[in-house]
Each structure stands twice: as structure tokens, then as C-alpha cells.
Amino acid sequence: MKSNLKISLLVLLLVIVLSGCSLVYKVLLGVDTKPNWSTDKHITSQAKKYKIPEEFNLIQDTVGYYEELKVIYQSKFDEVEIIDGDSTDYFKLHRIYNDDFQPVQFRLFDNEGTEIFKMVNCYVDPPIPMNWNVGGCFDNFPAKTNIESLNTHFFGLEVLLENASFLNSTKLTMEELPNSDYYGVIIWNDFFKRPSKKLIKTVQKYVQKRIEKVTLIYIYNHNSYLWYSIDSDTRMKVKEASNNK
């Protein structure tokens, strides 16, 4: 059953999750060909591997985050008017929607939690050596990009924190954050191994050079992205496999 579960997860992952990238691109990105549900023990081990501080090691909620994104974007799509068959605004919004649903991301916020920059995995090119400094975005501080869809921001840091928690299920609130000039959020996982690893190293090195104080928060979205991407039957199999471990 575990073998069938992995195959089901893989197929759905490639078809739904990575629909914005070509097949060759997916392979070069280092996508895990046997994605599996991550246990607390595994998550803790990976966090230590990447030198992620316990006080900023969060796990994305299995359901909450993507449900909230759907609500945000439904209201945005409802506002779009297609006049005389011109769907330009619709496709622009869809591009932003696609960006915000990508599995590996870096987001930068000011000291009030307002987003000022984001970069997501599908813009990282070429996949080897996988340079996250897309268009020289990290040559500046704060980081910036000329990619139009990435310069549109529909939510702030609070949305990410509200839909994530520590392994013990407690929350990190805006009020509990340390005083900082900026807050950076790295969204990472294990099935996009190479992009996650490269992004973490790139951002850690980037903020170490700054005289400004930047607090990095890490949100592990492996399980939530799998859950979001699979159907109800596969979700039942995931639950059964997790209960049998």
C-alpha cells in the first residue's frame, strides 16, 4: 500500500503542483520522485540540517493556508471585468495566483509585516546551478525584482503566521516577533529538495551581510502542499499510512 501511495502522490504532485514548469525542468530541479508524508522527527532532523533555529521553525497548516489563499483570490477574480472579450487583467491575476501557490518561496516584509518582495521557484533559471539571484534581485537591499507579477502583494506576514505553527501546535504571533528592521520568510519542503536547499543557503548568506536586522522565519510546507494537491481518496490513504507508522 505504501508503494501505491507514493505513486499516487507523485502523479498528482507532478500534474497539479508543478503544472507551471516543463517536465525536463522538473527533473533538473531535483524533485523527489517518491514524495512521502513527513513525520515530526523528520522535520526536526531537516531543520537541524539547515541550521534553522527552533524559535523560527514553523510548519504550515495542512488546510488553513491554501483555503485562505483561495478566499483571497476568489474575491480578486470576482473584481475582474472582461470587457469586449479583453481578458488581459484576468490572465495577469492568474499569473500572480500561480506565483503565490508555488511550493518554494522567499518573501520579505518590512517591520510592520507588509510584504515588499517575493521570489518563487518557477523563476529560478537555469535549474543548474539554480541561482536564486534572479535578475540580480539579491544584489540590492531590500531585494527587488522587475517581474511584474511578483511585485503584486495581496497579503502580509500575519496571514503566513496565522496559518502556521510549531510542532507542538502553538503559534508564533506578530506580537511575539523580535524587534527587527525586516522579516524574511522562507517557504520550503523536501520534495523540491534542490530549490529548498539552495534558497535557504542563499537567503542566510544574504541577510548575514546586512547591517539592518533581518529576522528569518522558516515555514515547512511539505505536508500541506501534498494535502492541497491530492484528492480525497489519496488523503484517506495518507491518513491510513500515517496511523500505521
| Mean pLDDT calculated for residue range 153-160 | 98
Which class for 32: exposed (0-12), middle (13-18), buried (19 or more C-beta within 10 A)? Answer: middle
Cα torsion for 124, 126, 130, 133, to the nearest 10°? -50
Quick one: pLDDT at residue 13?
46
Strand partners of residue 218: 57, 186
CA distances from 90 to 93, 139, 148, 156 (A): 5, 32, 14, 22
CA distances from 22 to 103, 134, 189 (A): 15, 18, 20
Confidence grade of residue 20 (pLDDT, cut at 50, 70, 90): very low
For 21-40, write each residue's pLDDT tens digit.
Answer: 444 455 555 665 556 788 99
For residues 124 and 155, the model is more confident at 155
- In the chain, DSSP finds a helix count (H) and a strand count (E) of 9, 6
Domain boundaries, the chain: 39-224
Is residue 11 scored above 70 in pLDDT?
A: no
| Mean pLDDT calculated for residue range 122-130 | 79
Quick one: pLDDT at residue 240?
62
Chain-centre distance for alpha carbon 90: 23
CB 239 within 8 A of CB 55: no
Confidence grade of residue 15 (pLDDT, cut at 50, 70, 90): very low
Quick one: pLDDT at residue 128?
73
Task: Please give the single-letter amino acid code of residue 233.
Answer: D
Cα 72–74–76 angle (5° rounding)?
75
Share of the chain above pLDDT 70, in %: 78
| Mean pLDDT calculated for residue range 110-138 | 91
| Mean pLDDT calculated for residue range 189-195 | 90
Quick one: pLDDT at residue 209?
85
| Mean pLDDT calculated for residue range 128-147 | 93
| Mean pLDDT calculated for residue range 211-217 | 96
- 3-state per-residue secondary structure call for 138-151: HHCCCCCCCCHHHH
Quick one: pLDDT at residue 26?
54
Quick one: pLDDT at residue 17?
44
